[in-house]
Amino acid sequence: MQNMNNRLKNLLSPLFIFFLVLLIINDFFLKPAFHNWFTGKLSDFCGLFIFPIFWSAIFPKQKIWVFISTAILFTFWKSEFASVIIQLIKPYFSIGRTVDLSDLMALPMILFAWMYQKNDSRQSMGTALMSRLGAYFVGVVAIFSFCATSQQKYIQSFDQPQYVLLRNPIIQNLSSYGEFEFYKKDSLLVVKINSLNISKPVRNDDYNKNLSLKNLDKKVLYEIADSASLVSSGKITVVTVNTEQGIDSLRFNGGRLDGRFVRMKKGKPTIEGFYKMGFEDSTWVIRDTIGNGKVMQTFVNGETTNIKHYNQDKLKSSSKINTRSDIIFNTYIQLAILIVCMGGIVFWLYKNYRNTAPEHLKLELLWKLLICFLAPMFVWLLYFGIRLLLMNYDQDIFETLATVIFIFIAVFPLMFIIVFWIKLRKEIDILLYCLLFAILCSTWATYVTIEALSK
């Protein structure tokens, strides 16, 4: 039992927990908000400290090999040699990384972790059940952080057809790219882009789609790894391609769509519109090939601003679509409302405190502990409801688990202080404190969203 305690004690050490919490906060909150050089390197520094210490607790007899293997595998992972392995496992696991040899500056953290663990080896964790359960909980959180570090890739699809034009292609197997369709035109290659793999967008809107469209011809050339070259900007090329959806008439300026686009099917136009260097512009008309309905979609700088539905030239519905600037403005309004709500709850709690002092709510020890343990989950449920109400909840499973862990780590000690030191004054204070923390979390998440949207 003592050997097990010695193995697990490092998982409860202050520095291990500090770097673990920092890794989760960075990967799920700081990176989406700032996405800069510092946040990228911070994950490497934190991960290289906690990773070998964690696996040393699992395999204590192979401790030195765990640290050596961590250094070797990290170096290999950050090199171009790992690309072959990534391509093999990509169909089965959502995994991604960036080749950046500057990340190797984090390798000294492995040596720091070794020295920290070695110097801490004589301390004893004790045999308390709560200590062991705490170590198991931290271990589960550590495994979660390792799995969640490689962020899931997302698919960017396009409502309107997207093409690029390349010159002098030598690509042989034109059917090996599921997201692309190829059409050879003498010394030119027309590439139809059905979708792109992207990192998770801040908001799945036309503004984010436009980011994917920037330098689209260069991105396609990089993906197919062909010896083709880009078409010089200013050179006008008009071509027609026969696709499964219809016959598309395309006008290119260099390698990007620029000018009128028409898709014909069974001798009738089904899609008509204009491109401005790859971005939709002006008014597009999409006709129903079966009935007499049509949709008129208005674009400004590639972003949809209005959609009108017609049936036999009779207007059925019209809807205004928020652009990215509209979304940012509305999010600021939401932030202001949340701050006002927080102020109201704080005033309510202060009023309860003043009206009942020095009296307080009498609770048994068991109930106090239950409140401290259950409050974080209740706070997360309230946070979840607030985000749904604001229509801002788009987290995947990893982000949801990270939020639950972060809220537990933050709320549990705060509730402990409130229950045992400040003391509850009325029963409703339990709900008010939980609601206050939920709104505080929502305020932070809304602020992070504004920061990300504004970049």
Region class of 212: left (phi > 0), else alpha (psi between -120 and 50), else beta = alpha
Which one, of 357, 409, 354, lies nearest residue 379 by Cα?
409
pLDDT tens, N- to C-terminus, the chain (455 residues): 444 455 567 777 888 889 988 888 888 777 766 667 788 788 889 989 999 988 888 788 888 898 999 998 888 877 777 666 766 655 445 555 565 677 888 899 999 998 888 765 444 444 455 566 666 677 777 777 776 665 556 788 888 899 999 988 876 666 656 688 889 888 899 999 998 877 777 788 889 899 889 889 988 888 786 778 899 989 999 999 999 889 999 999 999 999 999 999 888 899 999 999 999 999 999 998 777 789 999 999 899 999 999 988 789 899 998 899 999 999 999 999 999 999 999 999 999 888 887 888 888 888 888 898 899 999 999 998 888 888 776 776 777 877 888 898 889 999 999 999 988 888 889 999 999 999 999 999 899 888 888 87
Q: DSSP label at 415?
A: H
pLDDT of residue 308: 93
- Write down the pLDDT at residue 90: 53
Task: Tabulate helix, strand, coil % of the chain (nearest 5).
Answer: 55, 20, 25
Predicted TM-score of the model (pTM): 0.66
pLDDT at 418: 92
pLDDT of amino acid 92: 46
Q: Give the position of tokens 């070797």.
A: 72
The residue count of the chain comes to 455
For residue 308, CA distances in Å to 289, 296, 318, 326 come to 17, 5, 4, 19
Long-range Cβ contact pairs of 58-67 (< 8 A, separation 24 or more)? 60/7, 63/117, 67/110, 67/113, 67/114
- The pLDDT value recorded for residue 441 is 93
Which phi and psi angles does 172 have, rounded to 5°?
A: -95, -55
Q: What is the pLDDT of residue 175?
A: 61
- d(CA 246, CA 258) in angstroms, rounded, equals 19
| Cross-strand pairs, 164 | 191, 256
Cα 50 from Cα 221, distance rounded (Å): 39
In one letter, which amino acid is 126? Answer: G
Distance of CA 90 to the CA centre of its chain: 18
Residue 93 sits at φ, ψ, to 5 deg, of -135, 140
Provide the pLDDT for residue 280: 94
Q: Is the bond leading into 269 cis (omega within 30 degrees of zero)?
A: no
In sign, the C-alpha dihedral spanning 377, 381, 383, 387 is: positive
Q: Strand pairing partners for 309?
A: 295, 317
User: Checking DSSP bridges between strand 236-243 and strand 246-253, what pairing results, if any?
Assistant: antiparallel
Task: Tell the burial category of 122 from Cβ atoms under 10 Å away from its Cβ (0-12, 13-18, 19+).
Answer: exposed
